[in-house]
């Protein structure tokens, strides 16, 4: 069975104080982001992003990574759904869960998800 790799996850297994260098660099349309997180923390990013790990100059860097297939194949559609979800969360915080506009936005989000999903 073949699977797409739409989303990448990197889990940091040791603390940044244990090593120098070793930053995970992720490039996207907004530039290059340097990531170096505490042990047990993870970063999730589109698999289509160019990414690399800088050389470790002291100590050792331990991490784990895996890929996941999204229900939504297209990167741009996933990004739109993500942005819409963030807006819904902010609107819910301002207006409450029972607000008619919030419920309408949630309904549109789920309809778009069903439309974009590739199951």
Starting at the earlier edge strand, list the strands of the sheet with 24-28: 31-35, 24-28, 50-53
Q: What is the pLDDT of residues 61-118, one digit of tens each?
A: 999 999 999 999 998 899 899 999 999 999 999 999 999 999 999 999 999 999 999 8
CA dihedral of residues 47, 76, 26, 88 (deg, nearest 10): -110
pTM over 0.85: no
Q: What is the pLDDT of residues 6-23, one digit of tens each?
A: 999 999 999 999 999 999
Q: How many CA atoms lie within 13 A of 24 on its CB side?
A: 23
DSSP-derived 3-state class of residue 99: coil
Task: Write down the domain spans for the chain.
Answer: 7-68, 75-116
* Rounded Cα distance, 8 and 43, in Å: 8
């Amino acid at each position: 069975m073949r699977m797409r790799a739409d989303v990448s996850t990197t889990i940091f297994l040791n603390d940044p104080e244990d090593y120098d260098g070793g930053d995970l660099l992720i490039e996207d349309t907004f530039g290059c982001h340097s990531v170096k997180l505490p042990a047990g923390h993870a970063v999730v990013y589109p698999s289509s992003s160019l990414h690399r790990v800088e050389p470790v100059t002291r100590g050792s860097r331990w991490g784990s990574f895996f890929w996941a297939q999204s229900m939504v194949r297209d990167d741009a559609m996933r990004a739109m759904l993500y942005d819409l979800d963030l807006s819904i969360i902010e609107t819910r915080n301002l207006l409450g869960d029972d607000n008619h506009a919030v419920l309408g936005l949630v309904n549109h989000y789920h309809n778009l998800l069903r439309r974009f999903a590739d199951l």
